[in-house]
Amino acid sequence: MRKRHGERLLFEIERLDIAAASAYVLTGVNGAGKSTLLRMLAGLERCDACRIVFEGRSMPLHPYPAALRRAIGFVHQHPIMFSTSVAHNIAYGLLARGERRQAVAPAVEEAMRWAGVAHLRDTHPARLSGGEKQRVALARARVLQPRLLLLDEPTANLDGPAREQVIALIPTLLERGGSVVMACHDRDLIGLPGIQRLKLREGRLEVR
């Protein structure tokens, strides 16, 4: 994967292996390209030279393959929500995918319970705290059962119990066999047991 901004080479990564049911943290100084790398994997930013092998099939990252759109989820640092309710925001992706309403309702219930936001089901997203919003965003991504979930600084701007609640959810994201890659600076996330470390440094990816 290579990314340039004009003359500036942001990074050139020869190889990155992401295994099933595995968690990774992606660290690096401000501006190293962590968000850019996640956004490229999610198809939100164009890659200059990228190939991906997904379930044994080699494919380009641009144009972004439909198989990856279904398999990869992305949670923004500042999640944007529809001005409806928490429950509708979580249901939306499943409904857009054409899932039957009878199947969507229990999946949304389960996701809300998992994230500890069931009591907020009818709340307008504008009324959520930062921590609640991040947990709703995680539930909204998890309900789609992605093979790979990309999290961009999931605890940025959170502190106290709100931050701890989000950190506690992260290991449970792996329970269904999917994988997680998180860009972060949070030492408690970086120190989670079993997590593998990736570091962007001077345009190269170090696997630790």
Ligand X SMILES: Nc1ncnc2c1ncn2[C@@H]1O[C@H](COP(=O)(O)OP(=O)(O)OP(=O)(O)O)[C@@H](O)[C@H]1O
Question: How many residues in the shown chain lie near ligand X by CB under 6 A?
Answer: 11
Residue 14 makes CB contacts below 8 A (sequence gap 6+) with 205
Q: Per-residue x/- marks for ligand X, 163-202, CB under 6 A?
A: --------------------x-------------------
The reply on whether position 155 binds ligand X by CB under 6 A is no
Report if residue 140 touches ligand X, rule: CB under 6 A: no
CB closer to ligand X out of 28 and 154: 28
- Figure out which of the listed residues 18, 36, 61, 182 binds ligand X, where binding follows CB under 6 A: 36
97 counts as binding ligand X under rule CB under 6 A: no
Burial class (CB within 10 angstroms; exposed 0-12, middle 13-18, buried 19+) of 14 = exposed
Which residues sit opposite 5 in a β-bridge? 8
CB nearer to ligand X: pick between 31 and 60: 31
DSSP label at residue 122: T
Query: Nearest Cα to 3, choosing from 43, 45, 38, 48?
Result: 48
What string marks each residue from 16 to 35 as x (binds ligand X by CB under 6 A) or -? ------------x-xxxxxx
| Nearest residue (CB) to ligand X, 35 versus 89 | 35
- Give yes or no for a contact between 81 and 125, defined as CB atoms under 8 angstroms apart: yes
**4 beta partners:** 9
Nearest alpha-carbon partner for 184 in 204, 202, 163: 163
Closer residue to ligand X in complex, CB, 174/190: 190
Which residue's entry shows tokens 């923004």? Answer: 76
Closest distance to ligand X from the beta carbon of 31 (Å):
3
Binding-site ranges for ligand X (CB under 6 A)? 5, 10, 28, 30-36, 183
